[in-house]
Each structure stands twice: as structure tokens, then as C-alpha cells.
Amino acid sequence: MIKIGGGVVQFLFSNNLLKRANANLEKNISWAVLFCLTAVSIATYFYFYKNGLGLAYNDARSHLDIGRRVVEGLKPGLAQLGSVWLPLPHIMMIPFIWNDFLWHSGFAGAIVSMASYVGTGYLIYRFLKNLGVGYLGRLTGVFVFASNLNILYLQSTAMTELLLLFTMTAGVYELVMWHVSDKIFRLIKSAFWIALSTLVRYDGWFLLLWAGVLIVWHVYRKKGYKAAEGTLIFFSTLAAIGAALWFLWNLAIFGDPLYFALGPYSAHAQQQQLLEAGNLATKSNLWLSVKIYFFALLYNTGLLPLTLGLVGAIYFWVSDRVKGSVKISSSALMTPFIFNILALYFGFSVLFIQGLSGNTWFNVRYGVMMVPTIAILVGYLIDKIKDFRVIIIGLLLFATFFSYTNFDAVTIDDARVGSSQKNVSEVAGWLRANAKDKKGFVLISAASHDAIIFSSGLPMKRFIHEGTGAYWDSATSGPEHWARWIVMRTYDDSDQTYKLIKNTVGFKEDYALIQHFPFADIYEIKPQYLGGLNYEPVLGKQK
């Protein structure tokens, strides 16, 4: 009710009404958060789809191709999931990837990221609520995460970061809830999410180990060694199943359980090349590893949220109102930070920061892994600082606004101009213009040129690559019977196609170099040999 009288403007609210409103708010705010996150997610996807940035990362195109190969190609099937990347993101694409539009628009992969974005935002809300944080703190925490331009960009792509963030945050959330309640169902849920995270990226494996230690510590203190051992085995049965299956998969498909770690397409093999080229400066250099990851974190989260998050962490750790078990279990939120530094230090990972590692970016997106943690800590801080909260929120809005006007997303730079991008448009464009409407297969290494395969717009079944079994074997020993076109980096043995066909008589005599591009060359079979080519997938179904 509004009253104006005696020069005073009054707004009168019945306390009952306020109570009811508060109850309604409590009941419906979760839906409102979910609705807002979904709306932002969809709008941002369309924005990045329209401007073409959604597919700027080469890795995004490769992920989409892996998913596509499972359902379409010369040798479709689950084995196409391969070993280069962990399989969950590609498995989740399968329901959508069969559709050409969903494949080439990137939506088949982005929808997984988008759902993960909504889920992670909501988990941050729930996390803060369970820490006893009020509405403003909870919403600020969600805002810090959801408005981060790097997060918004990655959720609009077929990259794996958002799915990893979601599964890890869910795992940690349930782990903390288990520490609070000791309800076994919470532990099962935590194990489930952590198991999924181990199938997204190896960051999840580190979380699995960390969670194991936390569980042992928690139960040992309360119930002793036997109970701790039992609980750990119980937890690991589900939580470690993803990792165990991955070893099994590698054994079944590639004949070596460590193929993913030591195989020719493994990160280890790539890192070895970088090491030989002198580009793995962080290896055995702890200070540089910390510095590089800190800057990745800084550029991905922004100075203001990061600073506020650090202050929030201090408040959190010194607070008497937060139980010791919650504090200890929440340390799992820090695992991405520790894991990434260790990965850099041991040379398992590579990350370039412009200005620190020459004039380029590479894998700087790894810094987003701490954004949910920072968001939770900022939300917690907002709850604690009472009257300063409006100022801090004002500053956050201010900095966020200008990050948008500046288009300040380091991940976009990484995708567009960093080492993560390769300009494949010339090669792909040539294929689209000259091969799409003609018969014949293209021999190409997917490990080296997946982005070309994607960008060419040709169906997957037009390509003979490493995953096509007998087609690949036949085409690399006698290309003149199978490949009308060959796309490869000439004189580069790291390109499997070149390595295998360079000495074949067919390649030497029957092909002509048609186009030479900085990124790859295109060869075409000479017209007089066209008659000897196979134009149909005559080898049939393969095992």
C-alpha cells in the first residue's frame, strides 16, 4: 500500500504478505534461476552461431567429427570414439550428430555445453544455499559464473570444458553434502558425477584421487580404519568405473590399456614433439607452471572476481560458522588449480599465455576451470560483507559491462588467433568447391586434418582416414585405387597419410599436386587413372 501525506511517501507492507512473498520466492527462485540461465544460454549460442565464432576452435570441429564418425562414415560405430580424447562428450553428441545441420552448425556438441552451463550455474546456486548464503550472495555467485564471457563463449561451442565443469562441480557438491549429512546416497551421487567427469577430461581423474583422500580422512576420523577402507572401496566402485572402462576400452580397441597415454596420438606424444621443439618451458619449472596457470586463471575470470574470490576464500576459511568438514571437503573445489599446475610441471599439458610464452595463446581456456570455485567464493563474500555488498556488486556489474563492450574473452582470442586455430578455410573451401559434386574419396589423416574434414561440408563417408579400417589400409598402400584426392602436409612425417604413401608407386606416378596451401597440399589423381578408382564403399561392413 502506498500512502502520501504530510510530505512523506510511505510504502506499507503487511508482514504476513512479506512472509508469503518470501516463501514464494524461496519456492520459485530456483526455477527463475534455471529459466534465466537457459535463456542466456540460448541467446548466447545464437549470437556465436550467427557470427561464426562457435566453430572457431579447431578442437570443437574435431569433437563434432568424432561424434559424427560414430553414426556416419565408411566404418561407423563406437570404435570411432578413439583414444585421443575421453569419450563422454562425443557419446553425448550421438543423439544429435546424425543430423547434418546439427553437425555442421555445431549445435550437436554445443547443446551438451549449454545444458552443462545451466546445470553448473544452478549447482553454484545450490552450493551457496547450502552454505547458508542469502539470496543476494547466491545470485551474485551465479552471476559471476553465468556472465563470464569466456564461459558464455565456451558454452556455445562443442568444446568439453563446460561438461567437465558441470560433472566436477556436481561431484564436489554432492561430496560436500555427504560430509555434512553422512547420507550414503550423497556419496553415491558424488561417485556418479565424478565417474562421469573422469570420462570427460583427465582433470576428473585428479578429482577422483582427491575425493578418495577426503573420504578416507573423513571416515577415518569418525569411525576408524576399517570403515574408511570400506567406504573408499564403496565409493571407488562407482567413481572409478569410468577410468577403469577407459583402460579396458583401450585394451579392447587398440590392444594396449595405456594406448591413450602413450599411443601415437596421445597428448604425451604431442607434448614430446613440443619438448623437442623447445616449447614445453613449464616442464620441471614449478614457478613458471604456477605463473602460467595463474595468468590463465586471471585472464579467464577477470581481476576483480579473482580478487574478490581470494578475499571470499579467506572469509570462508576463517569463518566459525562453516563446519570444519565443509571446509575440508570444499578443498575439492581447488583441484583444477592444483591439477593444471601439476600437469604443466610434469609436462602433461601445454599452455601459452601471450606475453609470457611468445606472442600467442594456446589452451588458455584451461583457466576457466576455476570459474565455478571463484563464483562460489564471491557469492560467499557478498553474503558476509553486508553493507559493502552493493558497492562490490556495482563494481562487478561495471567490470562485466566493460568486458562485454571490449569483447574481452581470452578464449575467443585463443580460438581465433592463437595456436588453437589453424586456417583451414582455403583447403576446405577447395574441397567444397571441387570435390563435393564429383564422385570419389578423399584420403586424409583425421588426426592431422579433422578441421578440414568438418569445414569442407562433405559427408563423412567421402573421407578415408585412420578410422576407416580396410579402406585406410588399402588406400595408403595403393592410393591410386581409392583416393581421387589426397590432402596432406607434404614432407611432414607427422602427417600419417604422407608418411604411409610417400614411397608408394601409385602416389609417385598417378597424382598431381593441384593446390599448395600453407596448411596442407591437395593432390588429385591424373585423369588417365580415373578409370582404376573405386567410387563406392565396396568393402562392406567391417569389424
Binding site for other proteins (CB under 8 A): 4, 7-15, 18, 298-299, 302-304, 387-388, 390-391, 394-395, 398-399, 402-403, 405-406, 408, 410
Scanning the structure block, which residue is given the C-alpha cell 614432407? 491
Give yes or no for a contact between 212 and 232, defined as CB atoms under 8 angstroms apart.
Answer: yes
DSSP summary character for residue 512:
E
Cell of 384: 558476509
Of the candidates 255, 256, 48, 320, the one whose C-alpha atom is nearest the C-alpha of residue 158 is: 48
Q: How far is the CB of 302 from other proteins (least distance, A)?
A: 6
The angle subtended at Cα 367 by Cα 388 and Cα 287, nearest 5°, is 100
Identity of the residue, 146 or 158, whose beta carbon is nearer to other proteins in the bound complex? 146
Alpha carbons 117 and 54: distance in angstroms, whole number: 15
Identity of the residue, 185 or 402, whose beta carbon is nearer to other proteins in the bound complex? 402
Q: How far is the CB of 148 from other proteins (least distance, A)?
A: 11
Residue type, 341: I
Q: How far is the CB of 337 from other proteins (least distance, A)?
A: 17
Alpha carbons 327 and 344: distance in angstroms, whole number: 27
- Dihedrals phi, psi of 13, to nearest 5 degrees: -125, 130
Alpha carbons 491 and 508: distance in angstroms, whole number: 13
Q: How far is the CB of 160 from other proteins (least distance, A)?
A: 25
Q: How far is the CB of 162 from other proteins (least distance, A)?
A: 22
Number of C-beta neighbours around residue 229 at 10 A: 13
The SS3 call for residue 282 is coil
Helices (H), 224-302: 225-239, 241-254, 259-262, 267-276, 286-301
The β-bridge partners of 2 are 11
Mention every residue, 6+ apart, whose C-beta is less than 8 A from residue 507: 479, 480, 486, 501, 523
Identity of the residue, 164 or 364, whose beta carbon is nearer to other proteins in the bound complex? 364
Identity of the residue, 163 or 306, whose beta carbon is nearer to other proteins in the bound complex? 306
Give yes or no for a contact between 344 and 280, defined as CB atoms under 8 angstroms apart.
Answer: no
Identity of the residue, 62 or 150, whose beta carbon is nearer to other proteins in the bound complex? 150
Q: How far is the CB of 145 from other proteins (least distance, A)?
A: 17
Alpha carbons 372 and 140: distance in angstroms, whole number: 12
Per the document, the length of the chain is 543
Alpha carbons 153 and 163: distance in angstroms, whole number: 14
Q: How far is the CB of 423 from other proteins (least distance, A)?
A: 23
Q: How far is the CB of 36 from other proteins (least distance, A)?
A: 23
Q: Considering Cα of 475, then 479, then 482, then 483, what sign does the dihedral take? A: positive
Alpha carbons 251 and 230: distance in angstroms, whole number: 29
H/E run at residue 165: helix 161-181
Alpha carbons 88 and 243: distance in angstroms, whole number: 12
The β-bridge partners of 464 are 443
Identity of the residue, 106 or 312, whose beta carbon is nearer to other proteins in the bound complex? 312
Mention every residue, 6+ apart, whose C-beta is less than 8 A from residue 43: none
Cell of 145: 559464473
Q: How far is the CB of 304 from other proteins (least distance, A)?
A: 7
Alpha carbons 512 and 160: distance in angstroms, whole number: 39
Q: Residue 173's Cα: distance from chain center in Å?
A: 19
The β-bridge partners of 487 are 444, 522
Identity of the residue, 143 or 441, whose beta carbon is nearer to other proteins in the bound complex? 143
Alpha carbons 84 and 381: distance in angstroms, whole number: 40
Q: How far is the CB of 413 from other proteins (least distance, A)?
A: 9
Q: How far is the CB of 121 from other proteins (least distance, A)?
A: 21
